[in-house]
C-alpha cells in the first residue's frame, strides 16, 4: 500500500489555539534567528526553511469544538497584532 508522506521538521498535533499559537511563534522565531545570523548580529548557522506542520483530525480547523471553553481575545491580539 502506498501512502503520501510529507517531510516535516516540527509537527503540532491538534489545531487548537495553543498549537496554532505555538506554530506561529516558532515560525517567527526561526525567521528572527535567520535574519540575525545573516546580518551578523547572532553567531551560529542559519536554520534555513523549517517545515512546520499542524495536523487536525477534523475536516477543517475548528470543525469540532466540544470543550465549551471561552478564550479571552486579548491573547490573540497580542500574538497577531495586525
DSSP 14: S
- 53 vs 80, higher pLDDT: 53
Write out the three cell numbers for 72. Answer: 479571552
Q: Inform me whether the pLDDT recorded for 63 exceeds 80.
A: no
pLDDT in tens, 24-43: 999 999 999 999 999 999 99
Whole-structure pTM value: 0.79
Give the separation between CA 27 and CA 30, rounded to whole angstroms.
5
Structural domain boundaries in the chain: 10-79
Amino acid at each position: 500500500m502506498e501512502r503520501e508522506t510529507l517531510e516535516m521538521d516540527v509537527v503540532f498535533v491538534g489545531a487548537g489555539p495553543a498549537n496554532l499559537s505555538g506554530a506561529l511563534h516558532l515560525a517567527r522565531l526561526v525567521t528572527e534567528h535567520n535574519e540575525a545570523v545573516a546580518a551578523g548580529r547572532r553567531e551560529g548557522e542559519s536554520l534555513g526553511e523549517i517545515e512546520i506542520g499542524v495536523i487536525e483530525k477534523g475536516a477543517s480547523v475548528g470543525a469540532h469544538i466540544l470543550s465549551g471553553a471561552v478564550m479571552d481575545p486579548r491573547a490573540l491580539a497580542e500574538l497577531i497584532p495586525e
